[in-house]
Amino acid sequence: MRDGVATPVLAKALDAELEVVNGDTLIGKNAEIMRLYMQKYNVPEDGFVNFALNAHGNARNNPNALFKDKIVTREKVLASRVIQHPLHLFDSSPICDGAAAVVLAPTVEARAYSPNPVKILGAGVATDRFRVFDRDDPLFLEAARLSSLKAFRHANVHRRDVDFFELHDAFSIMATMILEAVGYAKQGEGWRLAQEMRIGLEGDIPIATMGGLKARGHPIGGTALYQASEIVLQLTGRAGPNQLPNPEIAMMQSVGGAGTTIITHIFGV
């Protein structure tokens, strides 16, 4: 699907009467959120660079990644064109073709496909106000917080138990705010996790371990299944050069709109 078709279609995730009618898109909305965030928390221009560097570095070892052959440097990220200030090209995930599948079955039946099937330990869903600026705080993803809490309770785990997190990094600002909402950073400091490379494969909370939406690609309807499939690869020791050391618990979040609906799943072995 070409951008000229995809962008207005995806804009339907925003409010038609007050946002889309004025030409707003998800790109524009995320740029607006990012601008406010940077102003409020005094984030430097290069504050989000490592989200892109981490994703593209991991994608180099993923044969299914859209940008598996692309070498991305700090200089290239900073010099990339501005899509809508302050959102650069490398702050945005590419819409692309793609398909993924999982076999979902009761544990007994799942063993017919694998001797050690990955389990869904918990799940949670939450929603927020449709219009971003109707929310109590437009710079906080309340739905991410609530859905993760539900999933943690369901799975009987704590966020500290999570070995890696496949989050919805459609935009650098979205990844930042998700990390804050789930509790891995204080509000206004999520970008520092990237700046300090604590999101890398050897970091405290690895994200986008196979490239994420940013560098593996964002096939919209197939994106969450890509995340789930990549989690299965990690938890079963089949992630190749990107394999984490003995992961047991993984978390996945999928986002609808600009944080209107957020679903969290916890996986384990």
| DSSP helix/strand/coil, 169 | coil
pLDDT in tens, 83-120: 999 999 999 999 999 999 999 999 889 998 888 899 99
What does pLDDT average to over the chain? 94
Helix extents (H) in 80-128: 107-110
Residue 154 has pLDDT above 70, yes or no: yes
Q: How would residue 7 be classed by pLDDT, with cut points 50, 70 and 90?
A: low
Whether 23 shows a pLDDT value over 80: the answer reads: no
> Please, which pLDDT band fits residue 178 given cuts at 50, 70 and 90?
very high
Rounded mean pLDDT of 26-37?
Answer: 95
- Using alpha carbons only, give the angle 72, 73, 77 rounded to the nearest 5 degrees: 85
Coil, strand or helix at 262: strand
Average pLDDT of the residues in 9-32: 76
Q: Kindly tell me if the per-residue pLDDT of 1 is higher than 60.
A: no
User: Is a pLDDT exceeding 70 seen at residue 66?
Assistant: yes
* pLDDT attached to residue 269: 93
Per-residue pLDDT at 9? 67
- Per-residue model confidence as pLDDT tens digits over 131-150: 899 999 999 999 999 999 99
Instruction: Note down the domain range covering 194.
Output: 3-268
Confidence of residue 21 (pLDDT cuts 50, 70, 90): low
Expressed in angstroms, the distance from the first to the final Cα of the chain is 36
Q: Which residues contact 110 (CB under 8 A, 6 or more apart)?
A: 103, 117
Q: How many distinct structural domains can be found in the chain? A: 1
- For residue range 206-265, list pLDDT tens digits in order: 999 999 999 999 998 899 999 999 999 999 999 999 999 999 999 999 999 999 999 999
Residue 2 has pLDDT above 60, yes or no: no
pTM: 0.93
CATH of residue 82: 3.40.47.10
The alpha carbons of the chain give a radius of gyration, in whole angstroms, of 18
**Least reliable range by pLDDT among 62-66, 122-126, 174-178, 219-223:** 219-223
Torsions phi, psi for 255 (to 5 deg): -115, 135
What's the pLDDT at 109? 92
Supply 120's token pair. 């869904």
Give the contacts of 242 (CB within 8 A, at least 6 positions apart).
58, 61, 62, 201, 209, 210, 234
The pLDDT-based confidence of 25 (bands split at 50, 70, 90) is confident
Asked if pLDDT for residue 18 goes beyond 80, the answer is no
Task: Give Cα separations from 60 to 4, 100, 210, 239, 240 (angstroms).
Answer: 28, 19, 8, 12, 11
249 SS3 class = strand
pLDDT band at 5 (very low <50, low <70, confident <90, very high): low
Q: What is the model's pLDDT at position 138? A: 97
Strand partners, 267: 120, 250
What's residue 16's pLDDT? 66
